């Protein structure tokens, strides 16, 4: 377990935890950001009672499990911020990015299940959303490793609306639970 304190949005203090369990696959971890208000950390109970469902979802996608086994050093991190995986701020960034790439239908679909979506960071800076039905959306990527075996030429990446990286971009590609590109 790695523990760090840091300032978040609007100067808020957060406890940053990087957690690994013995039963996690190699290269899988959870990053939790818990709000610290005046020396009292909030959200611990919510994390302990709720994070497992996002862990279970993230670990249940067949093609992702195969890739994790084949390339364990890629690293996959499940994100938990305050009380869920896909926060309102992250959802709003996702919505703006998808609007910019002409994929408003994905926004509407994700909005309906936001509290049940798992956010994964693969490699570094490569963001995927896992929907409750185990389909995955490549939201944005920075590196070829984060494309999970796909090539950059397989996607039409566009500049992201916020947090733009040097490489990669925003995609909005939807994959079946078996890893088939469906759009």
What is the predicted pLDDT for the residue at 142? 80
What is the predicted pLDDT for the residue at 30? 96
What is the predicted pLDDT for the residue at 2? 42
Low-confidence ranges of the chain (pLDDT < 70): 1-11, 144-147, 163-167
What is the predicted pLDDT for the residue at 146? 59
Q: What percentage of the chain exceeds 70 in pLDDT?
A: 89
What is the predicted pLDDT for the residue at 116? 97
Buried b (16+ CB within 10 A) or exposed e, 9-33: eeeeebbebebeeeebeebbbbbbb
What is the predicted pLDDT for the residue at 112? 98
CA distance 40 to 51: 20
Q: What are the pLDDT digits (tens) for 161-174?
A: 876 665 678 899 99
What is the predicted pLDDT for the residue at 144? 62
What is the predicted pLDDT for the residue at 3? 45
Residue 141, CA atoms < 13 Å, CB-side half-sphere: 23
DSSP three-state, residue 170? strand
What is the predicted pLDDT for the residue at 1? 43
């Amino acid at each position: 377990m790695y523990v760090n304190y840091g300032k978040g949005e609007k100067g808020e203090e957060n406890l940053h935890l990087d957690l690994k369990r013995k039963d996690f696959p190699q290269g899988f971890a959870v990053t939790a950001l818990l709000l610290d208000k005046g020396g009292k950390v909030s959200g611990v109970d919510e994390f302990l009672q709720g994070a497992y469902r996002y862990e279970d979802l993230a670990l249940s996608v067949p093609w992702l499990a195969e890739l994790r086994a084949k390339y364990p050093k890629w690293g996959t991190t499940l994100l938990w911020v305050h009380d869920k995986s896909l926060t309102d701020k992250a959802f709003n960034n996702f919505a703006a990015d998808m609007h910019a790439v002409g994929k408003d239908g994905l926004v509407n679909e994700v909005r309906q299940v936001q509290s049940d979506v798992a956010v994964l960071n693969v490699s570094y800076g490569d963001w995927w959303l896992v929907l409750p039905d185990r389909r995955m959306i490549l939201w944005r990527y920075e590196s070829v490793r984060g494309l999970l075996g796909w090539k950059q030429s397989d996607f039409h990446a566009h500049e992201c609306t916020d947090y733009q990286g040097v490489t990669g971009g925003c995609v909005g590609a939807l994959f079946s639970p078996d890893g088939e590109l469906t759009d």
